[in-house]
Structure 1
Amino acid sequence: MAARPITDKDRKAVKRLHAQGKSRNDIARAIKRSPSTVSKIAAAFTPPLTFDRAPQVEAATRARTADLAARRAAFAERLQDIAEREADKMSAPTLYWEWGGKDHTYAQKLADEPTATDRRAIMSTIATAVDRSLKLVPPKDDGAAESRSVIGDLMAGLARDYAARHGGPPPEHEEPEADDDA
Structure 2
Amino acid sequence: MGSSNPVTDTERQRVRELHAAGKGRNEIATELGRSGRTISEIAKNLGLSFSRAAEVRQATEIRQADLAARRAALAQRLQDVAERELEKVNAPHKYFDWGGKEHDYDERWQDEPTPSDKRALLGVVATAIDRSLKLSPAEQDTEGLAAVDAWLKGMMPSAE
TM-score strictly above 0.5: yes
Shift of 1:53: 2.6
Which residue is 2:24 aligned to? Answer: 24
Shift of 1:46: 2.2
Comparing 104-113 and 87-96, the one that deviates more: 104-113
Partner AA of 1:24 in structure 2:
G
Moved over 6 A (4+): 145-148
Number of residues paired by the alignment? Answer: 144
- Quickly say closer, same or farther: Cα 1:131–1:54, change in 2 above 3 A: same
Q: Which runs of 5+ in 1 are unaligned?
A: 149-174, 178-182
Partner AA of 1:81 in structure 2:
D
Shift of 1:10: 5.3
Q: Name the CA distance, whole Å, in 2 between partners of 1:55 and 1:123.
A: 48
TM-score by length of 2: 0.72
Whether the 8 Å contact between 2:29 and 2:35 is mirrored in structure 1 is no
Q: Name the CA distance, whole Å, in 2 between partners of 1:108 and 1:16.
A: 75
- Quickly say closer, same or farther: Cα 1:6–1:102, change in 2 above 3 A: farther
Q: Name the CA distance, whole Å, in 2 between partners of 1:146 and 1:96.
A: 43
Whether the 8 Å contact between 2:29 and 2:39 is mirrored in structure 1 is no
Which residue is 2:48 aligned to? Answer: 49
Shift of 1:108: 0.9
TM-score by length of 1: 0.64
Which residue is 2:132 aligned to? Answer: 133
- Quickly say closer, same or farther: Cα 1:121–1:65, change in 2 above 3 A: same
Whether the 8 Å contact between 1:77 and 1:133 is mirrored in structure 2 is yes
Identity of aligned residues (%): 42
- Quickly say closer, same or farther: Cα 1:64–1:104, change in 2 above 3 A: same
SS at match of 2:141: coil
Q: Does 1:13 align with 2:7?
A: no
Higher RCO, Cα 8 Å, sep 6+: 2
Q: Name the CA distance, whole Å, in 1 between partners of 2:133 and 2:82.
A: 12
Q: Name the CA distance, whole Å, in 2 between partners of 1:176 and 1:78.
A: 48
Q: Which runs of 5+ in 2 are unaligned?
A: 148-157
SS at match of 1:22: coil
Whether the 8 Å contact between 1:95 and 1:108 is mirrored in structure 2 is yes
Whether the 8 Å contact between 1:24 and 1:39 is mirrored in structure 2 is no
Q: Name the CA distance, whole Å, in 2 between partners of 1:33 and 1:125.
A: 65
Partner AA of 1:40 in structure 2:
T
Q: Name the CA distance, whole Å, in 2 between partners of 1:42 and 1:103.
A: 85
Whether the 8 Å contact between 1:24 and 1:38 is mirrored in structure 2 is no
RMSD, matched Cα: 3.3
Shift of 1:33: 7.0
Task: Decide which structure has the larger Cα Rg and report it.
Answer: 1
